[in-house]
Amino acid sequence: MTPINQVLKENNTTINPIWIMRQAGRYLPEFRDIRKLNPDFIKLCLDSNLAKEITLQPLKRFDLDAAIIFSDILMLPYGLNQKVEFKKNFGPVLGNIDLENISKVDEVDFVQKIYPVYKAIKMVSNDILTKNKSTIGFVGAPWTLLVYMLNKQSPKLELKKNFFEDDFLINRLLLLIEKFLKLHIKNQIDNGAEVIQIFDSWAGLLEERDLPNYVYIPTFNLVDFIKKLNIPVICFPRNIKNYKNYCDIVKPNAICIDYNVDPLVIKKNLSIPVQGGLDPKILLTDKENLKKQAKKYLDIFKDHPYIFNLGHGVLPETDPNMMDYLVKFVKDY
């Protein structure tokens, strides 16, 4: 069993596996070389050979315990025929929602449109099969995808003024998102993903009263679906105010925490495995500071099942040598 699955399935506290969100990406010169030749981000995600190569790049450099597939949570709206493009220095821009058009997408069309993602997962999992490393697949949570699809860009700090005005549209979209997320997850698992992470990047935008409808219930439905396929699931509800409530209701196998949360409170309140926490900006400082901050998390969770990770994705300006230092430090702890 891979180290990550030992923590997720057996609550092992004697090891601290490590992988890093956005480990395959913009801080690696070898990724930037590929990106220069492939300016269309969606097309790049849909090139199975390049997606495989990018996914494995960090594993060639660092002794990480998992490969997370190089893809994007916005493959879902793309598969549902919403226009998705990535603008340089701005982020994703999505087209208008045509509910009639989206409602007509059938499962075969959806799978066909993003099939290269599944092919890349199969290639990656075959490549690392004998290396005792996990292949991680992922999706965006229903709420976060709803935000992108209706907001049509990253909300950064707030949603557009009339976000909640069309109840019918929101409820219809949430049902479609959930249906196709299950299909997307199942295809990732069928092609070798042995862990699924659900990213709820915009969970922190909601008031407590809105969490049941938009976060708890839709995410629980996915978690339940994944667990019935005998695959562990990690949830990352970024900036959510109450992790304990979330875990009690959604019931993931593990919870990924952001860097704004107090790890001591998390340890006290939660019995399930914990992942992440370290502020990615620490990697922009110096080795002494990095060691001190990483050690803090490792010390706090030393008798708790824990997977080392950051509290968000690795930043583009990170020096790969700092990442190398971090991985070695965690491995030697």
**This model's pTM is above 0.75:** yes
Question: Residues 146, 149, 151, CA angle at the centre, nearest 5°?
Answer: 95
Residue 246: predicted pLDDT: 98
DSSP 313: P
Rounded distance between C-alpha atoms, residue 223 and residue 232, angstroms: 9
Q: Which residues have C-beta within 8 Å of that of residue 268, sequence separation ≥ 6? A: none
Backbone angles phi, psi at 289, to 5 degrees: -65, -45
Chain position carrying tokens 């679906």:
225
Contact assessment for residue 19 and residue 4, using Cβ atoms and an 8 Å cutoff:
yes
Can you give the C-alpha Rg of the chain in angstroms? 19
Residue 161: predicted pLDDT: 86
Rounded distance between C-alpha atoms, residue 23 and residue 14, angstroms: 24
Query: Of all helices (H) and strands (E), which one includes residue 235?
Result: strand 233-237
- Burial pattern 275-294, b for ≥16 Cβ within 10 A else e, equals bbbbbbebbeeeeeebeebb
3 state SS for 129-161 = HHHCCEEEEEEECHHHHHHHHHHCECCCCCCCC
SS3 195: strand
- pLDDT tens digits in sequence order for the chain, 333 residues long: 999 999 999 999 999 999 999 999 999 999 999 999 999 999 999 999 999 999 999 999 999 999 999 999 999 999 999 999 999 888 899 999 999 999 999 999 999 999 999 999 999 999 999 999 999 999 999 999 999 999 999 998 678 888 999 999 999 999 999 999 999 999 999 999 999 999 999 999 999 999 999 999 999 999 999 999 999 999 999 999 999 999 999 999 999 999 999 999 999 999 999 999 999 999 999 999 999 999 999 999 999 999 999 999 999 999 999 999 999 999 999
Residue 25: CA count within 13 A, CB half-sphere: 19
Task: With CA atoms as reference, report the closest residue to 308 among 299, 316, 298.
Answer: 298
For residue 40, the tally of other CB atoms under 10 A from its CB is 11
Contact assessment for residue 200 and residue 215, using Cβ atoms and an 8 Å cutoff:
yes
Q: Which residues have C-beta within 8 Å of that of residue 154, sequence separation ≥ 6? A: 91, 92, 148
Report all structural domains of the chain as residue ranges with CATH numbers, in order of start.
Answer: 3-332 (3.20.20.210)
Residue 156: predicted pLDDT: 82
Helices (DSSP H) in the chain: which residue ranges?
Answer: 3-10, 29-37, 41-45, 48-61, 75-79, 99-103, 107-127, 142-151, 167-190, 211, 217-228, 243-250, 263-269, 287-300, 320-332
Chain position carrying tokens 């690696």:
28
Residue 157: predicted pLDDT: 66
